[in-house]
Amino acid sequence: MDLNGQILESKSQLLQTANGHDQIQDLRTKAMQVFENEGFPTIKHEEWKYTSLVPILRKNYSLTASAGKVSKEEVEKYSLKTDSYRLVFVDGGFSEEHSDLENAPFTFLTLSNALGSKEEALNLFGKIAPIEDQAFVALNTAFAHQGSFLHIPKGTRVEKPIELLYFTSKAQNEAPFFQIRNLILAEQASETQIYERHQNLGESAALSNVVTEIKVERDAIYDHYKVQNDQRDTALVDNTWVEQAENSFASVDTFSLGGRFVRNNLSFLQRGEHCESKMYGITMIGENQLVDHHTLVDHKVPNCQSNQLYKGIYTDNAKGVFNGKVYVHSEAQKTNAFQQNDNVLLDDLASLDTKPQLEIFADDVKCSHGCTIGQLDEDAMFYLKSRGIRDKEARAMLLYAFCMDALAGVKLEELKSKLKSVLAKKLGVELDFDL
Amino acid sequence: MLTIKNLRASIEDKEILKGINLEVKPGEVHAIMGPNGSGKSTLSSVIAGREDYEVTAGEMNFLGQDLSELDPEERAHAGIFLSFQYPVEIPGVSVTNFLKTAINESRKAKGLEPMPAKDMLKAMKEKMALLEIDRSFLSRSINEGFSGGEKKRNEIFQMAMLEPKLAILDETDSGLDIDALRIVANGVNKLKSQDNAVVVITHYQRLLDHITPDFVHVLLNGQIVKSGDKNLALELEEKGYDWIKKEQAPIG
């Protein structure tokens, strides 16, 4: 039986586990109805035509995984070394032991607590991420009871990054299915940096369906970094929906460097004038891995900006997808939307589908898009080699340089250097790129 | 130092070099002149090991090593440097990072430890002064947005840092104004010693006013058809290449 069948079979049990306020229950029931009607998308669905879910869905998942344990060392290995607020979840459950919220100037509640009574959470749940035509969001909305609610109050500058670390423990030995929901409210003129990671510490073929709804109020600055460098059997479907109010800045940068299957559905809804959205990413994968980025910027009001820059390096049977949709409504005059997707295929086995999709209904806008697929520049390779730089190092330098502009704007210095060393390692060189 | 015998090379089945003979000894400056399409740049690329060209006959020997067995990076480690006619722009790689990597890769090939950062910085400062290069230059991406003159000065700066035994300057004078030409030539002359050699590839006499060649060779249709001393270059400047072409034409 595939995942769809398994879910339908245990739906009453799942609905029962997923608690919440009455208004949440109504939404959950409705979401379940939508999921039952639509099911998981197939490659006939326009948004899924390059990525088949069949290999992911046909596993026998454990829908109610019990929580295992992780060690302090494991947590340390995957967290930032700089001072941070840390929220650790193990197999979906919140781990007080590994988390650190000392003197936090914001509110954190586990999702199930928040959905019990917290008004701000109830006002956020299902308000930004739609369930229609979004099977994974519908499924998550129906059953998700694990995750975080973060509330950054008005005018608060959170000085340290907030880490959201979701671990799958070694205790999971088959294929656990996790549904995580994050609700983040960045109030007026607040400033926040989030570092998010989903990491499987064991060998299981875990599948995580994560939905994050982020509301960025006026004048707020919000940065969110996703590092996806999971073990080779793990699958992740990430649905991140950001709604922005007037004069706000929001960025979600996605660094996809590992895992078996990663689908990122990243959507920005611009709802106030003079706001700016940034989505940058680096994808570097090989060995039968798949990373699919589907982005959407919905420009609904005038005088806003969006910037997308995705770089991809693929080798060895890896498959990449980039589909960037920019929708400019007729009233969204003076929109400035930029989108660029550049890729390098390192061998004949790797493949990539890239598709810019601009739908523009306003007439006074600046919208540009571009995508490139290429190999390494032979002239540049010869130039480097003629200076005594060996083949592997020369390749690494060029690929590294190729990616670098997508690191621009990353405000966490540690993350930057961490990414640099991961990239160097993946390129198989010991070069100090930092001079 | 460099001995080339009967070298033939082609690209995509088109023969460009048709039997080159050349001998360069330590301490010498050679100029190779010739009209467009005569094979000058091909010769420099083939010596540096560019893989687009196929060497079909002949031999190249550099300090006792058969060059055909060496990759471009190994030729660099052996002491060959090519100053490119069209230096390649590499966005994202700073001049410093590039030089540091190049120097330490060469050192590694020789079994040496990486150069200490302090020594590296000192050497860079010295050579920058020699070539009148501003410090801000170091943090820029290689050749990206450089003017023609900056690109060529950057080539000679790299040469100064890498201290090759044989430097091939492929049309280093093109794109240079008079001041830049003087600076570049001055740099080359300062780096010149009894132990190294320079091959200057050029269309024109003007670079040779500053870098005096011991030998001048005329490359025509893939062959060196005439060699002489510096006066040959002056003669070419005055009379062009036609008289040599006529000399070469079969009688009758």
> pLDDT digit string (tens) for A188-213?
999 999 999 999 999 999 999 999 99
Q: Which of B73, B94, B101 sits opposite A431 (nearest CB)?
A: B101
Coil/strand/helix, residue B51:
coil
- Are A389 and B97 inside 8 Å of each other by CB? no
- Give the pLDDT of residue A1: 84
Nearest to A383 among B84, B96, B101 (CB): B84
- How many other C-beta atoms lie within 10 A of the C-beta of residue B146? 18
Domains in chain B and their CATH numbers?
2-248 (3.40.50.300)
Name every chain A residue with its beta carbon within 8 A of the beta carbon of B50.
382
Whether B186 contacts chain A with CB within 8 A = no
Residue A408, class by beta-carbon neighbours within 10 Å (0-12 exposed, 13-18 middle, 19+ buried)? exposed
Element (H, E) at A150: strand A146-152
Quick check: A346 contacting B, CB < 8 Å? no
**Which residue from A minimizes the CA distance to B105?**
A389
- Among A residues 401-430, those touching chain B with beta carbons less than 8 Å apart: 401-402, 404-405
A385 in contact with chain B, both atoms CB, cutoff 8 A: yes
Nearest of A347, A344, A304 to residue A327 by alpha carbon: A304
Instruction: Determine the Cα–Cα distance for residues A294 and B168; give it in Å rounded to an integer.
Output: 50
Select from B41, B105, B170 the residue whose CB has the most chain A CBs within 10 Å, as the one to mutate to test that interface: B105
B91 in contact with A, Cβ within 8 Å: yes
CB contact under 8 A, A386 and B72: yes
| Beta carbon pairs, A and B, within 8 Å | 79
Q: CA–CA separation, B124 vs B138, rounded Å?
A: 9
Residue B98 contacts A where some CB pair is shorter than 8 Å: yes
CB within 8 A of A240, min separation 6: which ones? A210, A211, A212, A214, A224, A226, A252, A264, A265, A266, A267
Dist CA B13 CA A397 (whole Å): 32
Spatial distance between the Cα atoms of A116 and A93, rounded to a whole number of angstroms: 17
Within 10 A of A391 (CB to CB), how many other CB atoms are there? 13
Q: Which value, to the nearest 10 degrees, does the dihedral of the CA atoms of residues A192, A197, A198, A203 take?
A: -160
What distance, in Å, lies between the first and last C-alpha atoms of chain A? 54
pLDDT tens-digit readout, A147-191: 999 999 999 999 999 999 999 999 988 899 999 999 999 999 999
* Helix, coil or strand: residue A98: strand
Would the CB atoms of B94 and A435 count as touching at under 8 Å?
yes
SS3 B36: coil
**Cβ atoms A53, A136 nearer than 8 A:** no
Among B51, B90, B101, B166, pick the best mutation site for testing chain A contact (most A Cβ within 10 A): B101
- Per-residue pLDDT of A386-395, as tens digits, reads 999 999 899 9
State the pLDDT confidence band at A435, using cuts at 50, 70 and 90: very low
User: Which of A284, A234, A273 has its CA nearest to residue A395?
Assistant: A284
Distance from CA of B240 to the nearest CA of A (A): 32
Report yes or no: A378 and A159 within 8 Å, Cβ to Cβ. no
- CA gap A342, B145 in Å, rounded: 21
- Say what the pLDDT of residue A41 is: 96
Evaluate if residue A432 carries a pLDDT over 70.
Answer: no
Q: Structure tokens of A8?
A: 């339908």
CB distance A195 to A80 below 8 Å: yes
Q: pLDDT tens for residues A308-348?
A: 999 999 999 999 999 999 999 999 999 999 999 999 999 89
B105 CB neighbours in chain A (<8 A) are: 388-390, 393
Contacts of A393 in chain B (CB under 8 A): 101, 105
Closest chain B residue to A399, measured at CA: B92
Q: What is the pLDDT of residues A79-115, one digit of tens each?
A: 998 899 999 999 999 999 999 999 999 999 999 999 9
**Which among A379, A388, A404 has the least Cβ separation from residue B106?**
A388
Q: Which of A222, A296, A231 is nearest to A262 (CA)?
A: A231
- Partner B contacted by A361 (CB < 8 A): no
Could you say which of A380, A387, A435 has the minimum Cβ distance to residue B97? Answer: A435
DSSP A362-399: -SS-EEEEEEEEE---HHHHHHHHHTT--HHHHHHHHH
Strands (E), chain B: 2-11, 14-24, 29-33, 54-62, 65-66, 80-83, 90-94, 141-142, 166-170, 197-202, 215-220, 223-228
Cβ contact A388–B162 (<8 Å)? yes
CB A350 within 8 A of CB A382: no
* DSSP letter for each residue of A272-315: STT-EEEEEEEEEE-TT-EEEEEEEEEE-SSS-EEEEEEEEEE-
Asked if the C-beta of A376 comes within 8 angstroms of chain B's C-beta atoms, the answer is no
Question: Given CA atoms B191, B194, B196, B200 in this order, what sign does their dihedral have?
Answer: positive
Give the mean model confidence (pLDDT) for residues A301-308.
98
Chain A residues lying within 8 Å of B158, measured CB to CB: 387
Per-residue model confidence as pLDDT tens digits over A396-430: 999 988 988 899 889 999 998 888 888 888 887 76
pLDDT per residue of chain B (252 residues) written in tens, 0 to 9 = 999 999 999 999 899 999 999 999 999 999 999 988 899 999 999 999 999 999 999 999 999 999 999 999 999 999 999 999 999 999 888 899 899 999 999 999 999 999 999 999 999 999 999 888 988 889 899 999 998 889 999 999 999 999 999 999 999 988 888 888 998 899 899 999 999 999 999 988 888 989 999 999 999 999 999 999 999 988 888 888 888 888 876 654
3-state SS assignment for residue B38? coil
| Residue A177 dihedral angles phi and psi, to the nearest 5° | -115, 120
Query: What is the reported pLDDT for B251?
Result: 57
B93 part of contact set with chain A, CB < 8 Å: yes
Q: Which segments within A153-190 are labelled E, that is strand?
A: 162-168, 177-186
Question: Nearest 5°: CA angle at B224, between B219 and B230?
Answer: 75
Residue in A382, A431, A435 closest to B72 by CB = A382
Judged by CB atoms closer than 8 Å, whether chains meet at A387 and B76 is answered as: yes
Tally the C-alpha atoms within 13 A of residue B116's C-alpha that lie toward its C-beta.
3
Segment A4-18 mean pLDDT: 88
Asked if residue A20 has pLDDT above 80, the reply is no
A243-252 residue pLDDT tens: 999 999 999 9
Smallest Cα distance from A174 to chain B, Å:
43
A219 pLDDT exceeds 90? yes
A384 CB within 8 Å of a chain B CB: yes
Give the residues across from A157 on adjacent strands.
A191
Q: Which of A383, A385, A404 sits opposite B92 (nearest CB)?
A: A404
How far is the C-alpha of A409 from the C-alpha of A407, rounded, in Å?
6
Residue spans of the domains in chain A: they are 3-272, 378-435
β partners of residue B170? B201
